[in-house]
Structure 1
């Protein structure tokens, strides 16, 4: 779930490991020159290298080796890892489950952020002086807790029809959008120890490979016109990157050349949860984790039952974003493999629709 979330709850992880920041050995670094002491700071941990290349020593199966704070990324180490396959027949129905937005239809200021790292580029809501969008009444969270929208990002795969991280009844979608919220008691996402991730599957308008899943057959799949516009406008104009080549055989430490990556950003835009939400707000819910390092088990997932769709132009703009070393995002995709999570899945619907999209077209 997003490059920008790598910093989430590292302080908490360090406390659990009973070590100080300065005592953590640095197993990988990208972007920041290491201190002369060769000890990590929180910033070094944030920029530790990882990739979605399954054959790489920095790939998903080896994330836990890259940094000691990422121990939960090891297979079968955690108890509530994400992503998962949502088995619809196993989900228990509780029609009292809901969620609420403070102002779902208002678009707020945001910036497009992409550092060419091969991680998901994202639309980042601007700082504390900007109007915030709050999410509340989230299942399995303390009463009266409000969560602040931090960013929107989209996962994609190597194959056109398998780009989502989650699956529904063993079926994947071409893309998966995440809206990421952090507990408002904390000043930022990077310091929060409680998150909500709202997930929406994305189809390609007019594609003959649209997923055929019984659980979504009654969905009126909405064309997400503003999200489509943002993807075409910003993903389609991403710069090429040639400053970083990963040809090192060193699987524990990369320090061949200490160069701060060229980070593309500052492109101003407007975004709202309504740009990503489907026409029907029926959802599944489960307790899970980040889908990127350090795989922290601090996420309440809301998985919308119904997908949205965007154009093939928007889809290809995302897949063809250039990344370090001259490849594109579709080379390895941006999806963590399905994980084991035995905690229950809930849903707030049976056969009927719950709430319709409230915003004018």
Structure 2
């Protein structure tokens, strides 16, 4: 395992043969906005002699000394979050977090899904920060940047170790994920749910297996995500659905069907977000569209820009999540009518903060009672 270094790093993905990208979301390793040089792969003919080996996932250990990330964004309903991983092997091509990989010297393209940074000390760091004098409890969020239940969590169990600390300290938590793996932790989540400390949202982008396989290649299939919603709710863990992102002329026609399927699985809360294309993601998204859906690429981008003031993306608070204009307003109305018809969002579960009991400042010190 390698220590992560914040600089431009050359990886196998920089020169990947097209066959090696099978099972990955991005088409290329797009240059990061911080790169001082440009790399371009050239085909000399030799790579075509035999099938290329698929790109492997490489883990890097993060040496961070803090685990809680704070934000003051007025259009986000939480002020703190935890990300056990940086980068995400799910490979969702639309992921707005891809550009954050540039901070580490990696490409937001193939590197984002093959060069994964893990935080093995996350639980210990969380314990320290919750024990800090003056800490004021409020809901923590997981899955706001990269998925806490991406494939490497099966072996690393970093997310599970965080849950154990949060249950022990009676700390409220909200989770967003695309992976059925969340059901592995029903034992902990159900105990938290009994105390009113947790709720989970499964992100369901499409019910179309072919689209899901191309757009989010290593995430759980749509039926498995719906099954996760059902199993969580049956175990007493409130589980809702995020129809996110909604993409014009690609999956937006499925909005009502996704909500209906999630409702049938037990979801009673729902949300939606419009496709966001910050920084390098604009290039990655256009590249993916041209390769996978060339027949509708221009139509998709026309509607995206229509909802973004004529641009690919406008990062202003308040509008970045939903867009603006006729198309965005129509989508918002469709969502509102669908959830009303289904009886969703009639009651928003408020998680409890009054049960919090900070851990001892010295990890070696146990509790008296």
Structure possessing the higher relative contact order (Cα contacts under 8 Å, 6 or more residues apart): 1
Which of the two has greater strand per residue? 1
Q: Please say which structure displays the higher CA radius of gyration.
A: 2
TM (norm. structure 1) is: 0.24
